[in-house]
Amino acid sequence: MGKHRRSQGLISRFFHIALSVIKYMMLFGLTMALAGTVFVFSYLMGLDEWKEFDPEKIGDMQQTLLIYDRNNAETAALYNKQNRVYLTIDDIPEHVKNAFIAIEDVRFYEHNGVDIIRIAGSLVEDLKSGSLKQGASTISQQLVKNTSLTGVKTMSRKLQEAVMAYKLEQVYSKDKILEMYLNYIYFGNGAYGIEAAAKVYFGISAKSLSIAQAAMLAGVIKAPSHYAPHLDKKKSIERRNLVLTNMASQGLISENEEKEAKSEAVILTQKSEVEYGYFTDMVLAEAENILSMDSEELLSSGCRIYTTLDQALQSQVEKLFEDPDNFPDNAADNEKCQAAVCILDSESGEIRAIMGGRSYDTRRGINRAVDIKRQPGSAIKPVIAYAPAVENLGYTPATLVLDEKEDFNGYVPKNFSDNYVGWVTLREALAKSLNLPAVKVLDTLGVEAGKLYASQVGIPFELKDRGLTLALGGFTTGVSPLCLANSFTPFANGGYYSLSTCITKIENGRGEIIYERPHTKTSVLSGKTAFLITSMLESAATTGTAKRVSVKNVPIAAKTGTAGAGADNKDAWTVAYNPEYTMCCWMGFDSTDEKHCLPSDVTGGTYPAMLLQKIFSEVYKDKKAPNFAQPDDIVALRIDIQSLENGSQPMLASAFTPDEQTMLEYFPEESAPSQYTSYWAVPSPPDDLSVTNGDGGLPNISFTPKDSFIIYKIMRKDLTYGTIEMIGEYAGATTMITVNDFTAEYDHTYEYCVVPMHPEIEMEGERLCGPPSFCIRINVLPEENYIP
């Protein structure tokens, strides 16, 4: 009896199960038939969204703009609305792809866009529940859903999704679809696509993701607001582990790999602000101009911008700007004295580092290194006056200019100290930044000739800029630090000018080059002129106004400039360079008035020079600095300093010239002096000494000096008493000198001679005398012999 009941129970359960299977098979068949009919109908007749569907547009997605430094290291990732960095499928590791396939679409490589097996199970559950809760979308369906459909979950949208997925797979390969999917989907925290997600969450490229990290990102996309690790790390780990379990069960990773990945600690990166703000802003502005894009277009373009940035140098400058001791005091109302620095590659004009203010506070705000235009003061002298004068007039560092006040048709410039030293060489005038010589050089050269050269090296002028005030930086508008810095690069590189730039190359999101920096290098000066200007500016950096920029064992040329009127200086500048770097530093207030100006003791030779000195010191702390190369057609000669007095032409030092009376100077070979000075030779006596009895019978001595600078002593020997006396010293003439000896006595016999004496050379404490002239004897008879 019991056995009979158990048999009936088993038979009853068997029939119940069989009926259930038949029921669901019929339901499944009916569903598939219905779905197939709707699918075919949709495919043939077209639903509105499907009819407009174009798979090619899926690849046209917003991408993050990437910026790289000069060594191709990424420095910034910027975006408009979607932070996305596109990677090709070949750049995505297998375990990363497998993580997404394992959790999102295990039969991805087997179906044609719609997974019938998965969708059947999903439909059964939806029919049982009376709602559309179960997800059965393939990767292809998710891609079209996210790119081409609304987010409303309806049966018609599901059918459209299926039709579109099928069409998508007719156009693209499986790998291409997976590539687009992994680059498009949203991971939360502002990250779109696998590369952006890897960087946002872990601070690495997707190419470097571990199995555990890949699994965590694959788990996030189901619901980023629920599973993103920065929001709920515990849920994110649980979801990650589910992905890892799936990967192991599908044979995509080993059990050991699964175990290790599940035990891997989750270390998230901190979201950082944009680095190198001023440089990055400058790059964006230049790229927008190059590509004719607005900001939103550029930030969504996915372009890769390769820049000229030197990260180490930029970081060094930014660190110096953090120290308030490197700058003048704030104004009385606590407004900061502002500053800007730009550093160029001397050879190419490429911008290596830039700071546009004391601190970076506003995205795309004012960049004082590029945007401001201020009076350059004396810093412009080498560009507008001295360089074109050396190039066009044949001036040399030894050319003499008179440093004295002069009225130039109503313009009466003054030296900074209002002191004047007379004749000076160009070297001394430039090193000491004397104003009058600079104005006289430009006056001789011609203002238009000076402007012509300055324009060739990027200096801008207004129509009103026509006067000699330009020699001292008196511009209507002025120059930017970047502009002034680049105008000095020809001095550093042998006479060539290139347009400054911060971009070398731009690629689009597909890695295709769409811009490369054009060749802009042009010759603007001879190598000789560039070297001679540099040599003079080296003096400025060692003994002149820019001496605070000097660094031991580092050859530097520099020029300072100060714009203002002593007690209320407005702008302080230093431009300094060597063969590798050309640097410019500006300091001042954004708006100047009596309360916002630099103290009288703040000039270009103080804080700006000291700041650049610190940069040069750090750059060459552990490496040898290069020397300026001397051109073959430049000669170095020892010049006699005395020969330069009173506006005379330079002469070579002789063997007799004392070392302290010589200087080394450079000349173009074709215009080098060849005459040696005779100043320091042993002086010669006159050849025409004459002694006669003059008025009253007293001796009358006459002779003609050979050199105006030699002192001639007239010596007298009294042969009656045996005494020797000097009766006078005479110098400063080259015409005949006549002397009456009224101290002679009657009835005496005398001998007279002339002894030449050098005014400066001493021997054994006495001035050097040359050999005496021949002696002339004369008798002075008793006085009565001369009475008429």
Residues 489 and 497: their CA atoms lie apart, in Å, by 7
Residue 143 near residue 181, CB atoms below 8 Å: yes
- Burial label for 265, CB within 10 Å (0-12, 13-18, 19+), is exposed
**One of 42, 301, 378, 773 is an active-site residue; which one?**
378
> CB neighbours (10 Å) of residue 719?
13
Contact residues for 234 (Cβ-Cβ < 8 A; gap 6+): none
Residue 163 near residue 55, CB atoms below 8 Å: no
Residue 742 near residue 750, CB atoms below 8 Å: no
Maximum alpha-carbon separation in the chain: 195
Q: Which residues of 10-25 are buried (b: 16+ CB within 10 A; e: fewer)?
A: eeeeeeeeeeeeeeee
The DSSP line for 652-721 is B--TTS-GGGEEEEEEEGGG---PBP-TTSPP---S--EEEE-GGG-EEEEE--S-TTSEEEEEEEETTT
Residues 662 and 680: their CA atoms lie apart, in Å, by 11
Residues 592 and 331: their CA atoms lie apart, in Å, by 11
Residue 545 near residue 433, CB atoms below 8 Å: yes
Helices 2-45 + 155-171 axis angle, to 10: 70
Q: Does residue 378 carry a catalytic annotation?
A: yes
Amino acid at 253: I
Helices 194-202 + 174-184 axis angle, to 10: 40
CA dihedral (161, 163, 166, 172) in degrees, to 10, reads: -70
User: Which segments of 335-474 does DSSP mark as H helices, in order?
Assistant: 381, 387-393, 426-431, 435-445, 447-456
**One of 104, 161, 195, 507 is an active-site residue; which one?**
104
Amino acid at 682: V
Using alpha carbons, select from 677, 681, 650 the residue that is nearest to residue 760.
Answer: 681
The number of angstroms, rounded, from the C-alpha of 368 to the middle of its chain's C-alpha atoms is 13
Catalytic annotation, residues: 104, 378
